[in-house]
Structures are given as C-alpha cells and as structure tokens.
Chains A and B, each alone.
Chain A
Amino acid sequence: MTLYEYFEAKKLLDKYGIKSVDSKYVSSAEDAERFASGSKIVLKLISEKALHKSKAGLVKLNLQGPGISVAFHDLERKGKALSPYKIIAQKMAPSGVEIIVGGRTDPQFGKLILLGLGGIYVEVFKDFSLRVCPITKQDALDMVNQLKSKDVVTYGGKSSALLVNLLMEVSDMLSKNDFIKELDLNPVVVREDSYEAVDLRILE
C-alpha cells in the first residue's frame, strides 16, 4: 500500500463535495509566511515513513509571525531522517469537535465506511460506527446515532444532517474509486453548521 499524493487526494475530495482546509506545499519559511499572510497556520511534514504525524511531532499548530520560520526549520531538520518528504502549510480551521471519517476495503465485504469520535480520542474511546458501502441515508443516520458521543459530535442533533451528507459523499467516493484501499479523514473539524477535513490520507 502506498500513500496517494496529498493534493491529488484533496482534488478527489473536492470532486465529491467533501470540504477540506486550504493547503499548499511550501519549500521555504518565506513561502510559508506568504501563505499565512497574517493568519494562523499549521505546518505538517508528509512522508511515507511517518504515518502517525501527531505522535512523531511532525505537526506544528497555531503558527503566526516568527513562529512560522522556527517551526519550518525544525520540520526540515526532522525530515532528513524521513526523506523523501514534503512540508505542507494549512490554514488553521476554526475550532469545533474533532471526528474521524474513514474507509477501507475489506477482503470479504468490500468498501466499509467509518464514523467516530476523532483526533486523539480515536484509539482511547474506540467510539465508532461502521457500515458497508454504498450506504443509504438511513444507514448514515444510524451511524451517527450509534455513537455514544452523538450528542457531542452533533451538538445535540444540530449538525446531524451535515454529518449524514458528509457520510453519503464519502460513501459515494469510496464506492466509485476502486483504487482506495484505506481512507482517513482525521480529524474532520465539525461545527454546528460547517465542517472541514483537516488531515486526509488515502492509501492505494
């Protein structure tokens, strides 16, 4: 299995209407500062050799002003051992609840879609629901309601419809793209009326 190129993956998400944060590859600290143009950004190092970025200290959050250049040089230093690598700059998403939306190809049942409480809580609480693709609207709603954390991730039901649509779009993408072996949108930051995938990874 190999990592599908980040911007190719992003393009695919766009095609299915799945929103992800503004991102750009940056080759220098100045480049990153230009992308930020005054607002807060995130810098991430992407390499086949480091699949769990946050654990390896390869994600730098909340960067602004001189912090951008310090973070860039630190990532560059860490990247030497992980070559080939790239550094990506992203706009900071407004805060919200972090969820995971994922997919994988099961040898028996084909494409599966997953929804769970995301970010750092994924592996601690293992609060997730799973279905076979393609899913119906009812299946998507069941997936949301099955979560123990449903009141948290839906803001007491307010963002349920948003999540149902997102799941339908992801199911559609998974079903129509055979090459996707595994998909992680983790985290997806959800607010009452909007969301975006902050990190995305497709394995082919």
Chain B
Amino acid sequence: MKKMNLKPMLKPESVAIIGASRDPDKVGHVILQNYINAGYPGRLYAVNVKSEEDILGVKTFKSVLDIKDKIDLAVISIPAQFVPAALEECGKAHVKTAIVVSGGFSEVGETELQEKLVEIAEKYGMPTLGPNCLGVMDPRSRIDTLFLPTYKLSRPAVGGVSFVCQSGAVGSTVLDLISGEGFGLSKFISYGNAAHVDEVDLLNYLMEDEETKVIIMYIEGIKRGHEFVEVARKITKKKPVIVLKAGRTSAGMSAAHSHTAALAGNYEAHEAVFRQFGFTIAEDLSELLYFAKILDSEKYPHGGRVAIITNGGGTGVLCADAIGSNPDLTLAELSDSVKRDLRKSMPPLVNIRNPLDLAGDAEEVRYGKALETVGNDENVDMLLVIILFQTPGADSRVAAKMVNMKDRLGKPLIVLSIGADYTRMHRIMMESAGLPVYDSPASAVKSLAELLKYARYKERK
C-alpha cells in the first residue's frame, strides 16, 4: 500500500470548514472560531448549505465546489447522513485531504455509511481522517480543528511531542494536561474510527516529520498488523514512541485450544509487538506524560547507575528503594576521587555517600557544587536531584541553578519536587526550560528506567 501524503492536512495553505454555522452551539461554529482564535495564517473558507452570508467574517459558500481556490483541507462537521455527499463534492473539487469530525458511523453500527466514506476517499485519493474524531492540531501551522472551546481546554505550547490518539475523550484530557507540562506539542491527531487514515499512515508520516521528536499514542486496536510491524521496526530507530493500549482485560481468547493461545491473547500480542520493536509502554495516562518529558530531553544514558542528590534524607531513601527494586537500575557507587572532592566542598554534616543528603539548609551554591562533582563521576550514568522546596535553603535560585547546569552535564538529569503551590511554580519554571520534573519517587525512577531501555534499544545493531 502506498504512503499517504498527510502534509496538506497538517500544513494546509487553505482550509474549508464544511458545516460552519452562525449558531455558537454548533460544532461547526466552534471549529471556525478556533481557527480564527489560533490566528490561522492561510486562506480560510466557510461552507454552509443554507446561506452565503459571511460567518464570523469568513467568506462563506453553499458548496465546496463554489470556492474558486485550491483547498488543502476540508473539515467536515455535518450530520452523518449528509457526509458522503459532502465528501464526494470535496473529491470533485480536488480537495487534497479531509477530516470528518462528525460521529454516527461504525461506532453506532452504521458500517455501510462508513464504507461509503472509504470508497469516496479511495476514489479521489483523498486521505480522510475520522469519522468520529477531534481532528488535528498543529500549533506551528496554527490549525486547530478541535470543537472544544479554548476556555475549556487549554492549548499546549509549541514543541516536539506529537500525540496520536484514537479516542477523542482521552485525547482532549491528555491535551489539557500537556498544556500544564513544560514540554510542547508538535501535532495532535485524533483519528477516531480510523476508517481511511489509520495509525500506520500516521506513524509513517510522523517518522519523517522533522518537527516531531517524540510520539505518544493511545490506541484501542491495530487494523493492519503486518504494515504496523513494518513501520514499528523503523520508527523507533529514529525517535521514541510511547504507547498506551486500551483493552488489557478483554476476555481474550476464550475458546483457546492450547496453553499458548490461552496465555497470549489480543492485548499480549500488541504488547509483544511494542516490546519487540522498542516502543515505550505506558500503563496509564499519567505515564504517557512522565515518559514523554524525559524522552523529549533527548539525552540518553550509557548505563543504569543513578546518583541521588537530595535536601531531604527520607525522600532520598524512598528513591534509593525504588531504584533498588528496579531490575534495570542500580544505585551508583561514587568513585574515591569524587568522594574526596565532595568531602572538601561540603560542610561536615553532609554524609558523603549515595544518596547524597545535602541537608535542609542546602542552597544553590551547595547544590551547584554537588551536582558538578557528582555529575562528572565516571561511575554515574544518570542524576536524580531531589529539591524539596519546603526546606529553608531551597528557593528559586536553586531551581535556576539546576536549569543552568543541565546543559553542561553530558548526562540525563531529572528533578523530583513534591509539594503544592510554591513547588508547582518552580516545577513549571524548570520544566519550561526543558528539565523534566517529577512529583513522586516511583514516577521519577520508572521514567529513568524507560529512558535507559529506549537508549539501549536505539544503540542496538
């Protein structure tokens, strides 16, 4: 099967919103409004069968065929039964790509109606996303087909993470959460029923997309297994893919004849493929974000020896425990010369070992010296710095020090900060400078382990 050209869908120079409406309650109105709010710089048209009067100041036509312009992307948001006719018109008008936002197809048993869409899309060679989806968002090209108002769903900043999501509901909540994270978004693609464009097409596109550094995906099922394996084999050699697969507890193979079939059902088969081809497997929504931010930092470790620097003894021990029980990580044994240097630069109350407890009065100078010294230890592959902002010594200067030092270290560095408002403020400060910050020992340590696993996979062969 030949590759689909999805560029006109994500980087359109002209867009027609089919089903644009003057009624603010209509989806077609919200989509048009969002295009205006996002400041879409291309040529924008509205299509409304009932009227040719401008909507929201946008030139409006009764049919896409009336627009005397080449259309890269048509966004269709009209009742399901009218969609095939509208899509057919798009084909005749040489529209390059289409997104069918409308629901009411195979997800409610209307498979024939959906097959009609696929037929039309195939006939005109017009990649069609959906139906029953949120569509796409690309903050760089300022396109936003989401029918969720911006005051309800915050839009993430521009960045390198692309998010491919089968479910609209999961898509919008995770997108909202990403906007609160320090990393930015390259593309959001909600593909709904995957009638025409599916995960294989999307991965093929994102693999070559230079704006995409990391891919996160939520999928319910893979339709083209062999093609998926083909793209999976290649993509993780180029960039990390983090995947969350729903349907873990599905009945599986109830009528299995062999032990093998009883053990290895549908979920297990998917998981096997992900594992074999170096995908990073997330077990819940929050892990999608945890793993995305560490992989987005693009700094890979050469081993699993972790050094912990902390201003709180107990939290250091919790992290050491989490490292000790992770099969891929070990607590680094600091080298003698590093220990000697630390002894000279640290106050007497600091016990020179790993975890290195700098004590509650540690301020940016002590943190800086400790990180510099431990960070240069050849026995250390990764650094976990705990900053508890409730302590007397920790304030914005410590956060700024971490940000300043992160690029000077040739090794992965993450921060663990647990707390409420004051902590959150510093978390955002550090994250928006590209430093991954975690809020629990478990999530921090698991993220380090996943980073290492991906680094090892990427180095292979």
Please list the residues of chain A having a beta carbon within 8 angstroms of any beta carbon in chain B.
1, 51, 100, 102-104, 106-110, 112, 114, 116, 122-123, 126, 128-132, 135, 138-139, 142, 146, 182-184, 186, 201, 203
Q: Which residues of chain B are within 8 angstroms of A108 by Cβ–Cβ distance? A: 222-225, 228, 266, 269-270
Within the complex, the shortest CB–CB distance from B112 to chain A, in Å, comes to 23
| Pair A132/B258 contact, Cβ less than 8 Å | no
B260 touches A132 (CB 8 A): no
Q: Which residues of A sit under 8 angstroms from B262, Cβ to Cβ?
A: 123
Instruction: Decide: A184 and B260 in contact? CB cutoff 8 A.
Output: yes
B276 near A131 with CB under 8 A, answer: yes
Residues of chain A contacted by B263 (CB below 8 angstroms): 102, 114, 116, 122-123, 126, 128, 130
Q: A131-B272, A139-B276 are in contact. Are A109 and B225 (CB under 8 A)?
A: yes
Chain A residues with CB under 8 Å of B340's CB are: none
Q: How far is the CA of A109 from the CA of B200 in the complex (A)?
A: 13
Residue pair B269, A102 in contact (C-beta under 8 Å): no
Q: Which residues of B contact A123 (CB under 8 A)?
A: 259, 262-263
Contacts of B225 in A (CB 8 A): 106-110
Report Cα–Cα, A107/B222, bound state, in Å: 11
Q: How far does the alpha carbon of A107 sit from the alpha carbon of B226 in the complex, in Å? A: 10
How many whole Å from B91's CB to the nearest CB in chain A? 30
Task: Decide if A183 touches B260 in the complex (CB within 8 Å).
Answer: yes
A107 — nearest CB in chain B belongs to which residue?
Answer: B225
Contacts of B273 in A (CB 8 A): 109, 132
Q: Does the CB pair B257–A51 fall under 8 Å? A: yes
Given contacts A106-B269, A122-B263, A183-B260, 16 further A-B contacts (CB under 8 A): A51-B258, A100-B259, A100-B260, A102-B264, A103-B260, A104-B258, A107-B225, A112-B269, A130-B264, A130-B268, A130-B272, A132-B276, A135-B276, A182-B261, A184-B260, A186-B260
Chain B residues within an 8 Å CB radius of A203: 257-258
Contacts of B272 in A (CB 8 A): 109, 112, 129-132
Residue of B263, B268, B460 contacting most chain A CB atoms (<10 Å): B263
Query: In the complex, what residues of B have CB within 8 A of residue A112's CB?
Result: 264, 269, 272
Whether A114 and B276, one on each chain, are in contact in the complex, defined by CB atoms closer than 8 angstroms, is no
A165 to B292, CA, bound (A): 36
Kindly provide the distance from the CB of B228 to the nearest chain A CB, expressed in whole angstroms.
8
Task: Kindly list chain A residues whose C-beta atoms are within 8 Å of the C-beta of B222.
Answer: 108
20 pairs of residues in contact across A and B, judged by CB atoms under 8 Å: A100-B259, A102-B259, A104-B260, A104-B261, A106-B264, A106-B269, A108-B270, A109-B273, A114-B260, A122-B259, A123-B262, A128-B263, A129-B272, A130-B264, A130-B268, A132-B272, A138-B460, A138-B461, A201-B258, A203-B258
Q: Flag if B260 contacts A109 (CB, 8 Å).
A: no
* Nearest A-chain residue to B277, judged by Cβ: A132
B246 within 8 A of A: no
Q: Are B269 and A130 in contact (CB under 8 A)?
A: yes
CA distance A129 to B275 in the complex (A): 10
Chain B residues near A (Cβ < 8 Å)? 222-226, 228-229, 256-264, 266, 268-273, 275-276, 460-461
Determine if A109 and B269 form an interchain contact, defined as CB atoms under 8 angstroms apart. yes
- Count of A-B contacts judged by CB separation below 8 Å: 88
A180–B263 alpha-carbon span in the complex (Å) = 17
- Closest Cβ of chain A to B242, distance in Å, is 19
How far does the alpha carbon of A111 sit from the alpha carbon of B144 in the complex, in Å? 41
Known contacts: A109-B273, A131-B272, A132-B276. The answer to whether A1 contacts B257 by CB under 8 A is yes
Task: Determine the chain B residues whose CB is within 8 A of the CB of A128 once the complex forms.
Answer: 263-264
Query: Is the CB–CB distance between A186 and B269 below 8 Å?
Result: no
CA distance A126 to B263 in the complex (A): 7
- Least distance between B347 CB and chain A CB atoms (Å): 44
A109: nearest residue on chain B (CB-CB)?
B225
Given contacts A104-B264, A112-B264, contact A186 B259 (CB under 8 A): yes
Residue of A nearest to B271 (CB): A130
- Specify the chain B residue showing the minimal Cβ separation from A108: B225
Chain B residues with CB under 8 A of A183: 258, 260
Q: Which residues of A contact B269 (CB under 8 A)?
A: 106, 108-109, 112, 130
Task: Give the distance to chain B from A166, nearest Cβ to Cβ, in Å.
Answer: 15
Of the residues A126, A138, A139, A182, contact of B260 by C-beta under 8 Å = A182
* B223 proximity list for chain A (CB < 8 A): 108
Q: Bound complex: CA of A138 vs CA of B272, how far in Å?
A: 14
CA distance A130 to B259 in the complex (A): 13
C-alpha spacing A180/B272, complex, angstroms: 20
A201 / chain B contacts, CB cutoff of 8 Å: 258
Q: Across the interface, name the chain B residue whose C-beta is closest to A148.
A: B327
Find the A residue at minimum CB distance from B221.
A108
Q: Are A182 and B258 in contact (CB under 8 A)?
A: yes
Closest Cβ of chain A: how far from B259's Cβ, in Å? 5
| Bound: A108/B273 CA distance, A | 11
| Chain A positions within 8 Å of B261 at CB level | 104, 182
Chain A residue at minimum C-beta to C-beta distance from B255? A1
Q: How far is the CB of A125 from chain B (nearest CB, A)?
A: 11
Which B residues lie within 8 Å of A186 (CB)? 259-260
Bound-state CA distance A203–B224 (Å) is 25
CA distance A186 to B260 in the complex (A): 9
Cα-based distance from A1 to B461 in the complex (angstroms): 39
Bound together, the chains give a CA A88 to CA B221 distance in angstroms of 43
Q: Closest residue to A182 on the B side, CB-wise? A: B258
Closest 8 CB pairs of A and B: A102-B260, A108-B225, A130-B272, A109-B225, A182-B258, A184-B258, A106-B269, A104-B261
